[in-house]
C-alpha cells in the first residue's frame, strides 16, 4: 500500500488537521516517513538545508519539542523554540501579525496550543507552512505516528480494528479521522458523558467505519490495537467524578485478553500507570508505546518533507 518516494505528493500547504486530507495524502506522508526512516536517499539529509522551523508552544511537551527539533535537523534544517511566555503573541499581539512577521523569518511554523481556531487563523495569514503540533480538538501528528506504527506491526490497514478506550479527546478525534480514511475499523469505547465531539464523530462516520460505544466487552472483541490516553488532558481540571467514570475503562490484562490474540497496546504518552493503564500492560510484551514515541519524529519528518522542502 505504501508508495515510492517519487510518488509522494500532497496538494496541501498546511496541516491544521487531517480532516481535509485524503487517504492518498495520508499514505503519501506515511510512505515518506517509512522510507526516510528505513532507506533514506543520500539527499534526505540536505532536504531542508538552510530552512528553519519556528516552534510555538503554549503547552509544554517532551515528545513534540524533541521530535520536531530532531526531525528538522535530520533533514538538514534547524528549529527555533518559541514559548508564548517569550514572544509577543503571549502579550496580546494578534495571530495575524505574528503569522505575517514569522513568515518573513522562517520557512515553516509548528504550533502546539489550546484553541484550534489559533491554528486555523495562523494558517490563513502565514505564507509558510503551518503544522498543528496539538490543539484541544486535534492531534494529527500523533495519529500519523500511530498509524505508521500500526503499519509496521501488521503490514496493512485493511482488516485492522483499533479500539480507543477512555476520554473522547483530541487523540481520539484524530485517530477516528485518519483511521476512517485509511480503511481501519475504529471503535471509541468510553463512558456516557465522555464521548468524542459529536460533530467530529458524525463527519468520521460519513468517511469510514467508526463506532462510539460504552459497551467494552462487545466492542473489544477482535481488536488488533488497544489504545488509551490519560484521563485528564493537559489543562483539564481533575475531578473525582470523571476519574470514577473512567476507572472501569482502565486497560489491564483482563481487558487485553478479550482483544485479538496478536493485539498490541498503544498510548500516546505521558502515561499514568495504574490509572488509565496498568503497569503490567504498558510495560508488557504487547506494548509498542516507545515505537510510537519514536515514530512521532519519523511521521513529522514525513510531514516536513512534504510541506517545507
Active-site residue numbers? 112, 139, 142, 229, 268, 296
Quote the Cα angle for 285-290-292, to 5°: 110
Nearest to 177 by CA among 194, 164, 159: 164
Q: List CB contacts of 129: < 8 A, sequence separation 6 or more.
A: 13, 14, 15, 107, 108, 109, 307, 308
Nearest to 289 by CA among 274, 306, 269, 305: 269
Q: What are phi and psi of 213, to 5 degrees?
A: -150, 160
Do 191 and 169 meet the contact criterion of CB atoms below 8 Å apart? no
Q: Strand, helix or coil at 78?
A: strand
Cell numbers placing 74:
535530520
Q: Which residues of 157-187 are buried (b: 16+ CB within 10 A; e: fewer)?
A: beebbbbbbbbbbbbbbbbbbbbbbbebbbb
CB atoms within 10 A of CB 151: 21
Amino acid at each position: 500500500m505504501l508508495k515510492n518516494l517519487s510518488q509522494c505528493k500532497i496538494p496541501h500547504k498546511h496541516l491544521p488537521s487531517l480532516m481535509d486530507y485524503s487517504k492518498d495524502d495520508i499514505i503519501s506522508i506515511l510512505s515518506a516517513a517509512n522510507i526516510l526512516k528505513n532507506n533514506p536517499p543520500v539527499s534526505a539529509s540536505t532536504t531542508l538545508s538552510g530552512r528553519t522551523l519556528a516552534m510555538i508552544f503554549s503547552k509544554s511537551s517532551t515528545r513534540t519539542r524533541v521530535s520536531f527539533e530532531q526531525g528538522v535537523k535530520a533533514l538538514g534544517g534547524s528549529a527555533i523554540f518559541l514559548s508564548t511566555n517569550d514572544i509577543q503573541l503571549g502579550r496580546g499581539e494578534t495571530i495575524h501579525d505574528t503569522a505575517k512577521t514569522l513568515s518573513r523569518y522562517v520557512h515553516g511554523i509548528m504550533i502546539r496550543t489550546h484553541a484550534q481556531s489559533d491554528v486555523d487563523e495562523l494558517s490563513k495569514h502565514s505564507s509558510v507552512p503551518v503544522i498543528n503540533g496539538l490543539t484541544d480538538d486535534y492531534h494529527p501528528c500523533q495519529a500519523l505516528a500511530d498509524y505508521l506504527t500500526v503499519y509496521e506491526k501488521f503490514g496493512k490497514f485493511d482488516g485492522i480494528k483499533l479500539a480507543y478506550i477512555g476520554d473522547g479527546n483530541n487523540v481520539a478525534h484524530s485517530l477516528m479521522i485518519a483511521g476512517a480514511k485509511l480503511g481501519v475499523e475504529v471503535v471509541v469505547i468510553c463512558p456516557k458523558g465522555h464521548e468524542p465531539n459529536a460533530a467530529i464523530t458524525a463527519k468520521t462516520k460519513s468517511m469510514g467505519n467508526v463506532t462510539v460505544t460504552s459497551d467494552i466487552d462487545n466492542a473489544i472483541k477482535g481488536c488488533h490495537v488497544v489504545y488509551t490516553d490519560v484521563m485528564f488532558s493537559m489543562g483539564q481540571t481533575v475531578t473525582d467524578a470523571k476519574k470514577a467514570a473512567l476507572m472501569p475503562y482502565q486497560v489491564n490484562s483482563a481487558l487485553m485478553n478479550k482483544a485479538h490474540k496478536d493485539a498490541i497496546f498503544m498510548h500516546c504518552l505521558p502515561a499514568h500507570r495504574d490509572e488509565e493503564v496498568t503497569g503490567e500492560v504498558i510495560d508488557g510484551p504487547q506494548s509498542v508505546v516507545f515505537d510510537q514515541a519514536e515514530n512521532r519524529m519519523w511521521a513529522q519528518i514525513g510531514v516536513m518533507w512534504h510541506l517545507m522542502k
